[in-house]
Structure 1
Amino acid sequence: MPIDYARIKSIQFEAVRHTYTRRDTMLYALGLGVGADDPTDASDLKYVYEKSLVALPMQAVTLAAVPMLLADPAFGINYKLLLHAEQTLVMHKPLPIEGTVSGEFCIDEIYDKGKEKGAIMYMTRKIFDTASGDLIATMGNVAFLRGDGGFGGKSEGAPKPRAVPADRPADRSVTMRSPLNQALVYRLSGDYNPLHSDPEIAGVAGFKKPILHGLCHYGMAGRALIKTLCGDDPSRLLKLDTRFTSPVYPGETLRVDLWNISGGDASFRVVASERNVIVQDFGRCEYRN
């Protein structure tokens, strides 16, 4: 049965209130593998030790979200065939290390690629500091609804991400190791999808073992870019966009290739080194010089 476009577009979502603590901020960083290589490195300690704690801006993707939202039968979506296709993040001010935020969610548009090609859903979430009312971050989530094409919607007009330069090699590459238990730690930040922890369910989904959360290796890429482009100052990160192109398995080595486009603007992609597979593409990072 095709999804009901008009009904989905008319749904009004209540704001989500979320209180997080310093412990949550440290746990998020640990879930990205921060401190795994050298737990005495000062550049890592500031994300996992309360003495001089700062928050990584990518943590915003875990706040004021509704877990498994699109699994609600009201949407009529074949949730088992849904894939997280793209993630965007715009930081309007630095993320506090703790506090209470309010999240506002909306479905922007759904593009129908055809019965055999699925549909693409664009969603936006904004989080506000409830104490000040300030907008902290705006996030975009693009879902590929593999089983929901052919509902009669428009097929053209979807935003097109910027490709990485094809005419020259990357200006710089940074490698990161993914700990074997990384998915088990990262899930404690709120994404309990068993695809990332249960070998049996991962097998049913066609994977040889549980895969790493896309937002986990997204956060890892962000951490590498902050260290490389922002002088390891997370408050300088302004924008981080990517497209997920292939799964990552815990334990793999990831390589971030980056291209300088202009002052404060870079393109990037992420490669699983051992398999030489691109796992993130069309990456864009904007930062304060």
Structure 2
Amino acid sequence: MPLDYERIKNWPIPEGRQEYSARDTILYALGVGAAISNKLSPEELRFVYEKGLQALPTMATILGSPEGFWMADPEAGIDLAKVLHGEQFLTIHKPLPAEGVVIGRETVDEIYDKGADKGAVMYCSRKLYSEDGELLATSGWSTFMRGNGGFGGTATGQPKPHPVPDDRPCDSSIDLISRPEQAVIYRLSGDWNPLHIDPAFAARGGFDVPILHGMCSYGIAGRAVLQLLCNNDPSRLRAFNVRFAAPMFPGETTRTEVWLEGPGRAALRVRVLERDVIILNNGYVEFDA
């Protein structure tokens, strides 16, 4: 069904306030596949050990959400059965503390109309602040709404995917495994969608087994980026954007490939080796070289 552009664009999204602990930070790291071996390297230990603990930068994308799910409000007129997470963006302004209180302020930035038979794409963002008002991170995402096109808007100006070079091999890559119980761990960080744990629910979505959270695969890729480009130092990551291309299943192995594009810039792509399927594409990274 067509949506009311002005109403959604100016939706009064409540401010989100969240207190998180060192335990939450460790749980997030485990949820995105950290600490998979024994013994742990000092670089890996820093994300799961309270002594000298550091937060993974991608954790900023799950903090500061408003209470409830405003898109589920019937007044919004969004067909949730036909909604897909399209892209994820992250800009780090300051390293995320290992524990603390954060404030999230979320906005609907733009909605592009692809047509009645093609749906609409909504871009939102959330600025994450410390309790004393310092901007820590800006996360953004696109939502593909297959059931809400044809509202009379325009498709002009929609951001284009970042190109990944196809004329040369990648400059570096890394393989990271996931656990069979990866989705069960990751959901403890706040994403309770039954698609990722309930086999019967997953079957209704057309999957033989539950799939991994897209934001979990994003976090795994974030760990890969830290190792490939930042010497595992989270303070060096400045931006990390991807487009979701296909589902990943718990227990699969990811291969993250990066192409250097200049000082402190790289393109990225992630595939799962077991099925040779690209799951994250059109990635873009900025980092302190």
The 8 Å contact of residues 39 and 45 in structure 1, kept in 2 or not, is answered as no
Partner of 1:34: 34
**1:156-195 mapped onto 2 (5 Å cutoff):** 156-195=156-195
Deviation, structure 1 residue 39: 4.8
Per the alignment, residue 245 of structure 2 pairs with 245
Q: Is the 8 A contact 1:35 1:41 kept in 2?
A: no
Corresponding position of 2:137: 137
Alpha-carbon distance, 1:75 to partner? 1.4
Counterpart-to-counterpart distance in 2, 1:88 and 1:17: 21
Distance 2:87 2:39 in 1: 32
Q: Deviations over 1:205-263 (max 9, x none)?
A: 11111111111110111111111111110100000000000000001111001101111
Matched ranges for 1:1-289 at <5 A: 1-66=1-66, 68-130=69-131, 132-289=132-289
Deviation string for 1:55-89 (max 9, x for gaps)? 11100011011364422222111112111100000
| Residue segments in structure 1 that go unaligned for 5+ positions in a row | none
> Secondary structure, in 3 states, of the residue corresponding to 1:51?
coil
* TM-superposition CA deviations, 1:89-112 (whole Å, max 9, x none): 000000000110100000011111
1:274 CA drift (Å): 1.2
With over 3 angstroms needed to count, the CA separation of the structure-2 counterparts of 1:39 and 1:215, relative to structure 1, is farther
SS at match of 1:270: strand
Letter of the 2:73 counterpart: D
Q: List 4+ stretches of structure 1 deviating above 6 A.
A: none
Unaligned regions of 5+ residues in structure 2, if any?
A: none
Identity of aligned residues (%): 49
TM-score between the two structures when normalised by the length of structure 1: 0.97
**Letter of the 1:62 counterpart:** I
Measure the CA separation in 2 of the matches of 1:64 and 1:109.
Answer: 21
- Indicate how the Cα distance of structure 1 residues 39 and 111 shifts in structure 2: closer, same or farther if over 3 A, else same: farther
How many residue pairs are counted as aligned between the two chains? Answer: 288
| RMSD (CA atoms) | 1.1
Cα distance in 1 between the residues matched to 2:248 and 2:284: 20
